[in-house]
Amino acid sequence: MNQRVALVTGAGRGIGRATAEAFAAQGWAVVIAELRPTLGRRVERMLTRTGAPALFVPTDVASSRSVERAVRAGLRRFRRLDCVINNAGVLTAGPLARLALSDLERMLAVNLRGTLLMSRAALRWLHRQGEWSIINVASQLGKQGIGEYVTYCATKFGVVGLTEALAAELTGTGVSVWAVCPGLVDTELARRAVGVTARERAGLIRPESVARAIVALASGRRSAPSGAAFDVLR
């Protein structure tokens, strides 16, 4: 009951997996909210083998019912949630006029709608818990727009604005809201979308760097006003 608990969306790989591992290494229990069962169960097994309490919950963040189930499952298992990390994201690059409508809608559904839905579900279930936090994984493309990433930029600008507005709305409640804005991170998603070569990978940000920033905010080792958006550039 005294062990802190983090719920991480998109925790099956990339930044999400690194974040789940970082929380577990700091003694937290972890709810792995992941769409792909194979990835989610793999992370759950990996964490439990290290002695960390972990629970995989199949989760589609674009579905309100699915995110409600994830929050309820975490609370049933651990009786509390201390940090919700909205990390799940998708990216398809290309000129807006030629971008498939399905890709446009999926980015809006996962990156922005998913962050809104998970935050809403957590707030509805944890409104009496006291102090806890929401951390949204945005991007440098949530601060600066570039061509061929129009929809992705729109979603990440939205996440930064959502963070600031929700923090203002929750002033005085004990709930803190932050965003982290990494540059190009060495993940499968980024490599596929951007076309990074093996040689270029050495200059990318490691997922573990983003994970450390998230855990530092959640654990209070990094102090910042609610609503702030932090750059992670190395």
Q: What is the pLDDT of residues 187-206, one digit of tens each?
A: 877 666 666 655 566 578 99
Domain of residue 171 covers 5-232
User: pLDDT, tens digit, for every residue of 131-172?
Assistant: 999 999 999 999 999 999 999 999 999 999 999 999 999 999
Distance CA 83, CA 73 (A): 15
Q: Where are the alpha helices (DSSP H) in 26-142?
A: 37-49, 64-78, 101-107, 114-125
**pLDDT tens per residue, the chain (234 residues)?**
689 999 999 999 999 999 999 999 999 999 999 999 999 999 999 999 999 999 999 999 999 999 999 999 999 999 999 999 999 999 999 999 999 999 999 999 999 999 999 999 999 999 888 999 999 999 999 999 999 999 999 999 999 999 999 999 999 999 999 999 999 988 877 666 666 655 566 578 999 999 999 999 999 999 899 999 999 998
Q: Which residues are catalytic?
A: 152
The CATH number linked to 210 is 3.40.50.720
Contact present, 137 and 87 (Cβ < 8 Å):
yes
Which amino acid, residue 70?
A
pTM for the predicted model, two decimal places: 0.95
Number of neighbours of residue 74 by Cβ within 10 angstroms: 25
Q: What's CA 130's distance to the chain center, in Å?
A: 21
Number of domains making up the chain: 1
